[in-house]
Chains A and B, each alone.
Chain A
């Protein structure tokens, strides 16, 4: 017999079937669940494999790392060069800044000998030293 519009379910009736279908969620059997979890376990990336590989370093690399790496080394080199430069060039400005304490006399000469008062003239004046000697 040919079907007509009245042979169709309406939306509400059809929805009742869908609802029944949605509630009909299959339960996983224990054995199936175990098989799924075993697959997951075997396929799982291992923590050891995920850890970053340990890089082997040479002695020098270890020493540099202890100091603080290349930036620290660069700072030390700069300080060394500055020290050498000050020693050789003996700039006037440095003498001015130190109030004539550091670079008094003929500092170009290698024979320069410093006395105590050269370093702290305010505290160890010549008169006082002479008095003590006397």
Chain B
């Protein structure tokens, strides 16, 4: 089966196949990359799924259009996609600020009271709430480093800053998260000790 053979192929090889007119490559690439972009965009946009889907669709469309011009060996496709998604999210966040500052979702202080042994999904929600309290760039850096698994040089490329600036952003972001989540330590299944 062609699809089975393609699952082992690299992102770049699949994009070249797509650019050469192969109809199966897009399916594999979409299944592989779109959920990651969607998750990342969703984190940056405060968990707004509909907006995150719009960003993902636009980012993927730009990837398809880029395929014939893609220069192999220059950049990782995931890094390129995260860069596009970051820029699209930045635009949307900027618009949100200019349109209605009250529309920005506040960190949820009134999340359902938790019991010991809270499930992973609730921790993920709490993390998202805490991420929402971070300044935009810190949120991006922390999400890329600790949730998307990007390296510091990759993040530097995506955010167009130095590696030192990335280290500073992630360190400050982590510290802010640790503070924001500390207040909910008990309800999230950690002891206060």
Contacts and interface: CB of A to CB of B under 8 A. Distances in A.
Interface of A: 3, 7-10, 13-14, 16-28, 32-33, 35-37, 39-41, 43-47, 50
Contacts of B147: 18, 21-22
A45 B39 contact: no
Interface residues of B, number: 49
B32 to A, nearest CB: 11
Given A9-B185, A26-B49, A39-B64, 12 more contacts: A9-B182, A9-B190, A13-B185, A18-B146, A21-B128, A24-B124, A25-B39, A26-B39, A35-B57, A39-B61, A43-B65, A45-B68
B187 to A, nearest CB: 13
Contacts of A9: 177-178, 181-182, 185, 190
Contacts of A24: 39, 120-121, 124
B23 interface: yes
A36 B49 CA distance: 15
A24 B183 CA distance: 22
B132 interface: no
A55 B43 CA distance: 53
Most B CB contacts (10 A, CB to CB) among A10, A21, A37 go to A21
A21 B65 contact: no
A20 B39 CA distance: 13
B7 interface: no
Interface string B26-62: 1100110011101100110000010011001100110
A20 B188 CA distance: 12
Contacts of A16: 123, 190
B190 to A, nearest CB: 6
A23 B120 contact: yes
Contact of A40 (B52, B64, B121, B127): B64
Contacts of B126: 17
Interface stretch (B13-21, B86-94, B108-116): B13-21
Contact of B18 (A10, A14, A40): A40
In the A-B complex, the 10 residue pairs with the closest CB atoms:
A40-B26, A20-B123, A24-B124, A43-B64, A47-B21, A9-B178, A8-B178, A20-B120, A20-B124, A17-B127
